[in-house]
Amino acid sequence: MQQHGFARNVDWGVASSSADPNPDDRDPTVELLLEPSDYTRAMWPHDFKVAYTVALHGETLKTALRVVNTGKEAFDFGAALHTYIEVLSASKAKVRGLKGLTYLDKSADAKNPAKKVEARDAVTFGDALVDSVYLDAPPHVELDVGTGAAVAIDAGGWRDTVVWNPHLTMEACYDKFVCVENAAAGERVALAPGASWVATADFSVVDL
């Protein structure tokens, strides 16, 4: 299978939205739906349904990813939200909430990452490529964007957190964003026939 899977490279359908007739004052919401195709079956021969819901509730962006095994055989999978967040400068950005966690450092060799323990109070950027998978991460993590504010991420169901900044491998733009991605990466999710898995992530801006 291609790197990062296939879900990011295919067209999703719109299952529903709050723009439907008579939305009953719902939060602005859209539900996207992904189902198998010849393209996905060529890489991953399983029957499934994935629904991704995005909603605005007050000042919070709320997301939910639901995977359903619609086939007759069990399967396992990995997943991640590729969350690119704008920062004032990568050198001023910091991720808090990961101290003491075991992580896989993929910066030198993505196929054979070194296992380390995070000793810093905050993960920083700007000096080198950062590509780390923090295992069994806490549900609450904050990205200080360098402006006196942070993006607070509150997750449920997601087991891991990926922190990434490409540094000079993307010299034209690396200084303007940091990825803090909720993920199921360290250990794959197993689903029996008819079973489902749900993970949520809420994003809000907080003052520091």
Structural domain boundaries in the chain: 7-207
For residue 32 the two structure tokens come to 């996207």
Rounded Cα gap, residues 186 and 136, in angstroms = 8
Residue numbers of the chain with a pLDDT score lower than 50: none
pLDDT of residue 30: 94
- Joined together, the tokens standing for residue 132 give 């780390």
Q: Is the pTM of this model over 0.85?
A: yes
User: What confidence score (pLDDT) does residue 3 get?
Assistant: 76
CA–CA distance, 95 with 178 (Å, rounded to integer): 9
Domain 7-207 has CATH 3.40.50.10800: no
Report the pLDDT value the prediction gives residue 23, as an integer from 0 to 100: 60
What tens digit of pLDDT does each residue of 143-187 get?
999 999 999 999 999 999 999 999 999 999 999 999 999 999 999
Q: Which residues pair with 112 in a beta bridge?
A: none
